[in-house]
């Protein structure tokens, strides 16, 4: 009987994993499609609960997080201060262009910060640089 534990093909096994956590279906879809087309394995989460579950279940090389999902629980996870978690590189995406939002989110030391509507070429260049592709 064949084993079902490893459903990845050899080509998929080496893909870098990226989590896209955003409450907006449009931005989740845009980022997932774009990053998948560049050879990354992309998982999406639509709220804080799904994001925390994904981060606890899977090891990601990078995480895009909408600033509205940055509850204290999430902040601890991405910083690696929570039991069972390790700090991962994360990029903040936001529709809020206020100086207060930028100050608050940059205090978390993200590896990148993008304001919606962002340029996908800029996203691709940042991801490639961060993941050394």
Per the structure, how many domains does the chain have? 1
| Residue closest to 58 by CA, chosen among 82, 75, 39, 41 | 41
Secondary structure letter of residue 111 according to DSSP: S
For the stretch 92-129, pLDDT in tens is 898 888 888 888 888 878 888 899 989 999 999 999 99
- Output the pTM of the full model: 0.79
Q: Is residue 43 domain-resident? A: yes
pLDDT at 24: 93
Range of the domain at 113: 16-130
- CATH of residue 27's domain is 3.40.50.2300
d(CA 133, CA 127): 8
Q: Is residue 111 domain-resident? A: yes
């Amino acid at each position: 009987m064949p084993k079902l534990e490893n459903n990845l093909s050899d080509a998929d096994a080496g893909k870098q994993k990226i989590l896209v956590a955003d409450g907006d279906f449009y931005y989740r879809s845009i980022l997932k499609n774009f990053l998948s087309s560049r050879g990354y394995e992309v998982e999406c989460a639509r709220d804080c609960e799904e994001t925390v579950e994904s981060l606890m279940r899977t090891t990601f090389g990078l995480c895009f997080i909408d600033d509205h999902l940055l509850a204290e629980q999430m902040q601890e996870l991405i910083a690696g201060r929570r039991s069972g978690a390790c700090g991962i590189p994360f990029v903040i995406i936001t529709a809020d262009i206020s100086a207060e939002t930028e100050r608050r989110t940059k205090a978390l030391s993200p590896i990148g910060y993008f304001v919606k509507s962002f340029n996908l070429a800029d996203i691709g260049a940042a991801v490639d640089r961060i993941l050394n592709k």
